[in-house]
């Protein structure tokens, strides 16, 4: 979690010339090079709005929310607020807290199945009335831990049809990523061992099913034991790319033993783990941060593709937290807090949440967006936040809309927004967390957005806020011409 103030986003005056990727951010750099502004109107000015189902929100863990706007959205957009912490799920258990990473899958009858993480620590209770994901002992990876996932089935009218626990006994399930065969890879953001002696720091696979039931909690050990954040799977190769949430993290590639997996459970057969190295720049610190881990401002030019190669990790399941240390001993590049990741249009996007030159009030930066091009074997720094500003504050989760815009979830201090990057290269604020808490005399919630993902039908953006623990279904006048995922 980050606790920084609001900051501006600025970019170096560089172009993306020579980059083979076509993306909103490439257009962004072209605008910068021409001296044009980068702040766009987006979908219009944000306005406070009540949830369409506000009449159902009388008894929440923080009080009566029926007359409190939970989000600010552009004109024409609406939302429902569903599966709130403390509500009773279809399996009879309370909704756990700390809603985090999430993905959307096709369900029966044009419903949508959401698999959602809960970033809960051992025995963590939210609001004093929940105990994490509740499960029988044979379905819990570790008996004392509260984290895991829940699954939601959402109808065509964005109404909640059912929700239930789907993975239990894990810890700090932060982000993850979807697979093409209909499952969610849930990542533990920790390297720890519980008091019961159970090791943590793994990924787990959760099938996206509309049937109430818990997944077998099988750690995918070959994907590495470290402080995981997110994954992005390239369907062309079957390779899985992994981020690590550490100040000196690395960026990884997992090659499954089965080749291109196509069904749940196949990843448990093992594979080979690699770490990214920037050619001719061994152990390059990409943070551009003179106060962190040996970085230096301007060390990595913005918008310049850098050739990469990969080194194999031998000890993927260490007793000590050494995966990144082994990687760096072999020349792997260093990123400052790798977080959200997403595959789209033959590219892997990933976030360095506190990369960049140091903020005016901190020793760490305000965030970077990187793009790895697996066809060209290059990596490009596309966005880097400057030390001051108020357009983007420490991006975390990332997704790509069916019409091509990027949506970035903020995880910094103060007001929290979902920030878009459109096809013209303009940044805009799409949503603001507007909750004021009746249990705290109207204090702003200001908790992070997380888990942004679009319906497979292209009509709804799903996203969570973590503080209270709410899942939102947002719809409105999206562009008519969707750019299909490839």
Contact 122, 171 (CB under 8 A): yes
Tell me the average pLDDT of the chain: 88
Ranges of each domain in the chain: 39-85+401-486
User: What pLDDT is attached to residue 383?
Assistant: 76
Please spell the DSSP secondary structure of 271-287, one letter per residue. EEEEEEEETT-TT-BTT
Q: If we measure between CA atoms, which residue out of 175, 164, 200, 190 comes closest to residue 117?
A: 175
C-alpha 254/C-alpha 272 separation (Å) is: 6
What are the phi and psi torsion angles at 438 (to 5°)?
A: -65, -25
Q: If we measure between CA atoms, which residue out of 69, 44, 77, 87 comes closest to residue 158?
A: 77
Contact 405, 425 (CB under 8 A): no
pLDDT-based confidence at residue 25 (cuts at 50, 70, 90): low
Residue 207 or 17, more confident: 207
Of 7-11, 75-79, 215-219, 468-472, the least confident: 7-11
Percent of the chain with pLDDT over 70: 87
pLDDT at 21 over 70: no
Contact 122, 141 (CB under 8 A): no
- Give every CB contact of residue 84 below 8 A, 6+ residues apart in sequence: 57, 60, 61, 95, 468, 469, 470, 471
User: What pLDDT is attached to residue 303?
Assistant: 84
C-alpha 115/C-alpha 400 separation (Å) is: 18
Residue 462 or 303, more confident: 462
Task: Output DSSP code: residue 447.
Answer: P
Within its chain, how far is the Cα of 192 from the centroid?
21
Dihedral over alpha carbons 73, 422, 452, 9 (to 10 degrees)? -90
pLDDT-based confidence at residue 150 (cuts at 50, 70, 90): very high
pLDDT digit string (tens) for 234-286? 999 999 999 999 989 999 999 999 999 999 999 999 999 999 999 999 998 88
C-alpha 397/C-alpha 403 separation (Å) is: 18
Contacts of 438-447 with CB under 8 Å at 24 or more apart are 438/62, 438/63, 438/64, 438/65, 438/68, 439/62, 439/63, 440/62, 444/415, 446/413, 446/414, 446/415, 446/416, 447/416
C-alpha 480/C-alpha 483 separation (Å) is: 10
Mean pLDDT of 117-126: 85
Asked whether the CA dihedral 323, 326, 331, 337 is positive or negative, the reply is positive
């Amino acid at each position: 979690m980050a606790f920084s103030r609001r900051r501006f986003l600025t970019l170096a005056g560089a172009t993306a010339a020579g980059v083979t990727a076509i993306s909103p951010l490439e257009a962004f750099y072209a605008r910068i090079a021409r001296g044009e502004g980068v702040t766009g109107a987006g979908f219009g000015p944000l306005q406070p709005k009540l949830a369409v189902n506000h009449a159902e929100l009388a008894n929440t863990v923080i009080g009566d929310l029926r007359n409190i706007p939970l989000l600010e959205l552009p004109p024409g957009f609406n939302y429902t607020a569903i599966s709130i912490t403390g509500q009773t799920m279809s399996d009879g258990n309370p909704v756990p807290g700390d809603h985090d990473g999430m993905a959307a899958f096709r369900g029966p009858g044009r419903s949508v199945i959401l698999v959602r993480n809960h970033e809960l620590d051992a025995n963590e209770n939210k609001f004093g009335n929940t105990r994490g994901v509740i499960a029988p002992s044979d379905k819990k990876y570790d008996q004392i831990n509260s984290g895991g996932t829940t699954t939601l089935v959402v109808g065509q009218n964005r109404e909640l049809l059912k929700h239930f626990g789907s993975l239990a006994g894990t810890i700090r399930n932060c982000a993850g990523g979807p697979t093409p065969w209909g499952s969610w890879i849930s990542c533990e953001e920790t390297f720890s061992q519980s008091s019961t002696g159970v090791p943590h720091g793994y990924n787990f696979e959760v099938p996206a099913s509309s049937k109430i039931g818990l997944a077998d909690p099988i750690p995918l050990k070959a994907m590495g034991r470290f402080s995981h954040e997110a994954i992005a799977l390239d369907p062309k190769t079957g390779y899985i790319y992994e981020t690590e949430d550490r100040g000196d993290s690395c960026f990884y590639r997992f090659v499954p033993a089965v080749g291109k997996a196509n069904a749940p459970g196949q990843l448990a057969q093992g594979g080979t783990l690699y770490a990214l190295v920037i050619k001719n720049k061994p152990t390059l610190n990409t943070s551009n941060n003179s106060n962190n881990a040996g970085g230096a401002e301007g060390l990595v030019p913005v918008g310049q593709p850098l050739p990469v190669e990969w080194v194999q990790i031998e000890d993927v399941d260490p007793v000590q937290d050494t995966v990144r240390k082994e990687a760096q001993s072999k020349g792997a590049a260093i990123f400052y807090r790798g977080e959200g990741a997403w595959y789209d249009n033959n590219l892997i996007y990933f976030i360095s949440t506190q990369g960049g030159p140091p903020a005016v009030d901190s020793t760490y930066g305000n965030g970077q967006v990187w793009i790895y091009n697996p066809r060209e074997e290059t990596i490009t720094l596309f966005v880097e936040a400057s030390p001051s500003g108020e357009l983007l504050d420490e991006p975390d989760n990332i997704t790509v809309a069916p019409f091509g815009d990027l949506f970035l979830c903020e995880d910094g201090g103060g007001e929290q927004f979902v920030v878009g990057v459109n096809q013209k290269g303009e940044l805009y604020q799409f949503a603001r967390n507007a909750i004021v808490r009746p249990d705290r005399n109207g204090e702003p919630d200001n908790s992070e957005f997380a888990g942004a993902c679009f319906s497979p039908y292209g009509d709804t953006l799903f996203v969570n806020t973590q503080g209270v623990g709410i899942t939102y279904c947002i719809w409105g006048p999206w562009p008519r011409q969707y750019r299909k995922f490839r």
